[in-house]
Structure 1
Amino acid sequence: MKILFISAANKNFDGRTRALLDVLNSFADVVDITTTQESDFVNNSSYYVNYKSYKEFIRKTVEIGKDHRDVDFIFADNRKATVPALKLNKLLKPKAVIYDARELYLQRETHGFASKVGCFFESRMIAKAALTICANEERKQVMEKEYGKIGAILVFENFRKLSYSKEFSEEVMKLKFDYLNRDDSFKIVSTAGCEIERGTKELIEAAAKLNFNSTLYLVGCKENAEKQEIEAFIEENKIKNVKLVPRLNQDELKYFVSKCDVGIAMYHKRNSNNLYCSSGKIYEYAYEGIAVATTDNPPMKRVLDEYGIGAYDSDIGKALVSVHDNMNDIKKNIETFVGDRVVEKKQEEFASDLRKCMEDLQDGK
């Protein structure tokens, strides 16, 4: 079975893309086209497309894909992959197209021309795909109501964990992040950077009000207007316990997270995509041995209720206090969670289901 995997993601920074490729490579020959240039991922079946512009990404992806006319399936990874995948479907005529609808952007909830165009092509892809993958049961139910013409749907939550590359050096990391090892406060990490829509200001305010010694690390802050706004917000409110950290690769992120006490996953509820978020951060945090504090969105509530690896609340400050006060019990639950190989087993279950669906498609069932 041969699969052409198309993604505008960089595998160094996109956990779901890495997880999907791990699953597909476990049972098929995969040719992947992504925006990853790093040596860790360079081999004869991986192609790098420099994402200078979306138009260039489409052109180069189609150019590369045309050389693989023997593929059985085209796998489109998220919305930006839909246009080249639809083009290549006409050219290559594979047995089927598979689409990972990792987000849940609905046309009636989107604003702006680009977003509406994205929804248009996604609806075309879902109508064309023999199999669509979504991120949780809640989203599956919404999609079944929203889309009239839709093939089979498989659920693959963001079951994933961070891993070190061959180039990882603990000594290098110790030097680079020496301040973490010297920080004896309750260390809170958010990997959403300075994104204001993700509730960064509310998180900063909550951390500032905690009645115990704590430090909030905002990881992934880009040099843009949002970072400037967050810096101004911190200065205006004279907040001392917040540190901004730039984007980290997987080696750096794994080391950084492992030195913290609790990881944050926050989403608003103003649209379906955020209300029914499926945060892989939860699993990444737990596998690094740290607790999780989240907002009370249904999918995250479900995970935390089932495994007890953290706390949730509509007020993220209350969730942080709950984690802090119940850390011993949460740590025991995390040890059980990791010891039971929850992520590995869930990936194996999904791989089995996906393989069965693809074999049926191959056989024309």
Structure 2
Amino acid sequence: MRKIFFISASIIEYDGRLRELIEVSKSIGETYYLTRSNSVTPIDEHHIIFTSRGPSTYINFLLFCFKTARKIGKFDVIWADNRKALIPSFLIARLRKHPILIQDARELYMFGDVRHFIGKIGCLVEIMLNRKFDIIICANKERAEIMKRYYHLRMMPLVFENVRKLEFDGTVDDAAFEERYQMSKDKARWKIISTSGCDLDRGIEQLVEAVGRLGEEYSLYIFGNSSMKQEDFIERKIMEIEYKNIHIFGPLKQDELKYAIGMCDIGVVNYHAKDMNNKYCASGKLYEFIFEGVPVITTENPSLKALCERFEVGISCNDYQSAIRKLTEEYEYYQGKAREMSKKISVKSNRAGLKHHVVKALETIERDRSGKYPEVV
């Protein structure tokens, strides 16, 4: 059995794609996975938690990766989750007997799209190291084609769609949840949920204005991480215009998020189109809504628009107010289509597809490195 060292700097409780990738990795081989976590208790005996915080966090992360690699001992594959894991994965591989390198490239930020210095460094790291990895995975076909051209890759990246379904883990306290969010006490006919926080670039200001103008029959629940500056801006706007139907909260764990979505009628999936990463978004949020039978309103990004048009699970339109009105007027139709799609897609099949392609690629690389080929009869 292959031994895999999976490296991620993400918080596992809040990262659905990370959890899915780890499950695929476990199905391929014995997987030791290093992640951040809100808990001090590992999920299982192979889970290693990185806990450092502060200005030297990334340096500490690098050192922790090296220390963990020594403890694990020999392994056949290093799987890097996103750009922060690229450097430790590559350096550890250089110090070992060249384990096979896999990278999940979940972001698609181009050097010219990024304004801040740290982001540009990250782009340069990807430009230098992406071609050094044996297998690259991304989130949709559009991204795969762009990456192959931009990074001059030898092979087309594998595609692993963000098909994910929220699960209850048994820790959600219904009474405590209701006491905090009071969603069941909301008398609005239509409850709308957005899980992108107060990100102004994604059009949250326009969404707040649209729902506010629609009146008391509509409520908007905003969950997710936000900067203090952006959250303060939206809260001031709500107070100034005296909207009573907008509610802002922080991020939720997956069982809480599943509960919240189940209490709502419409899910909003919103991205901007100012850079390639957002323009060609591969949203797992959309699938989270669909699996709960909740139709969606999305921005007009190509991948979101194509999915809405193909499966008719919602409306792709940047005019939130008209989209909400149209969807509620034909709600039973769109809800039926969302439920229909939820029966056609499968998290298990999505995992199995990636496993098949990764194993096939691993076998080819292992055969090429060993020089052993099957005999031709």
- Note whether the superposition's TM-score is higher than 0.5: yes
Residue 210 of structure 2 corresponds to 206
- Cα distance, 1:155 vs structure 2: 0.8
**Alignment of 1:279 onto 2:279:** no
**Alignment of 1:249 onto 2:253:** yes
* TM-score, L = length of structure 2: 0.91
Is residue 33–residue 49 contact of structure 1 (8 Å, CA) maintained in 2? Answer: yes
**Alignment of 1:50 onto 2:54:** no
Give the secondary-structure state (helix, strand or coil) at the position aligned to 2:80: strand
Is residue 42–residue 49 contact of structure 2 (8 Å, CA) maintained in 1? Answer: no
The sequence identity of aligned pairs, in percent, is 31
Is residue 31–residue 46 contact of structure 1 (8 Å, CA) maintained in 2? Answer: yes
Alignment partner for residue 165 of structure 1, among 142, 166, 169?
Answer: 169
Distance 2:47 2:156 in 1: 28
**Alignment of 1:308 onto 2:309:** no
Is residue 148–residue 156 contact of structure 2 (8 Å, CA) maintained in 1? Answer: no
**Alignment of 1:26 onto 2:27:** yes
Give the secondary-structure state (helix, strand or coil) at the position aligned to 2:169: coil
Residue 293 of structure 1 corresponds to 297
- Cα distance, 1:38 vs structure 2: 2.4
2:30 aligned partner, one-letter code: D
Does the C-alpha gap of structure 1 residues 345 and 304 become closer, same or farther in structure 2, counting only changes over 3 Å? farther
Is residue 157–residue 278 contact of structure 1 (8 Å, CA) maintained in 2? Answer: yes
1:113 aligned partner, one-letter code: F
Distance 2:316 2:197 in 1: 20
**Alignment of 1:132 onto 2:133:** no
Distance 1:167 1:211 in 2: 35
Alignment partner for residue 224 of structure 1, among 220, 225, 228?
Answer: 228
- Cα distance, 1:40 vs structure 2: 7.1
Does the C-alpha gap of structure 1 residues 148 and 339 become closer, same or farther in structure 2, counting only changes over 3 Å? closer
Is residue 8–residue 35 contact of structure 2 (8 Å, CA) maintained in 1? Answer: yes
Distance 1:150 1:241 in 2: 52
Aligned residues: 364
**Alignment of 1:104 onto 2:108:** yes
Residue 90 of structure 1 corresponds to 94
The structure with the largest alpha-carbon Rg is 2
- Cα distance, 1:7 vs structure 2: 0.6
Residue 2 of structure 1 corresponds to 3
Residue 354 of structure 1 corresponds to 358
Is residue 221–residue 244 contact of structure 1 (8 Å, CA) maintained in 2? Answer: no
Q: Which runs of 5+ in 1 are unaligned?
A: none
2:169 aligned partner, one-letter code: S
1:274-310 deviation per Cα after TM superposition (whole angstroms, max 9, x unaligned) = 1101110000011122111100101111222222221
Does the C-alpha gap of structure 1 residues 94 and 169 become closer, same or farther in structure 2, counting only changes over 3 Å? farther
Moved more, 75-84 or 20-29: 20-29
Is residue 221–residue 227 contact of structure 1 (8 Å, CA) maintained in 2? Answer: no
- Cα distance, 1:169 vs structure 2: 4.2
Is residue 138–residue 158 contact of structure 2 (8 Å, CA) maintained in 1? Answer: yes
Is residue 126–residue 150 contact of structure 1 (8 Å, CA) maintained in 2? Answer: no
1:117 aligned partner, one-letter code: I
Distance 2:350 2:310 in 1: 14
* TM-score, L = length of structure 1: 0.93
- Cα distance, 1:150 vs structure 2: 4.2
Alignment partner for residue 115 of structure 1, among 119, 138, 143?
Answer: 119
What is the Cα-based RMSD across aligned positions, in Å?
Answer: 2.0
Give the secondary-structure state (helix, strand or coil) at the position aligned to 1:290: coil
Distance 1:263 1:41 in 2: 32
Residue 70 of structure 1 corresponds to 74
1:204 aligned partner, one-letter code: V
Q: Which runs of 5+ in 2 are unaligned?
A: 370-377
1:118-152 deviation per Cα after TM superposition (whole angstroms, max 9, x unaligned) = 01111223111111111111111211221124444
Is residue 77–residue 100 contact of structure 2 (8 Å, CA) maintained in 1? Answer: yes
Is residue 40–residue 165 contact of structure 1 (8 Å, CA) maintained in 2? Answer: no
Distance 1:210 1:358 in 2: 54
1:20 aligned partner, one-letter code: L
**Alignment of 1:181 onto 2:184:** yes
**Alignment of 1:265 onto 2:266:** no
Residue 36 of structure 2 corresponds to 35
1:6-38 deviation per Cα after TM superposition (whole angstroms, max 9, x unaligned) = 111111001110111122222321110000242
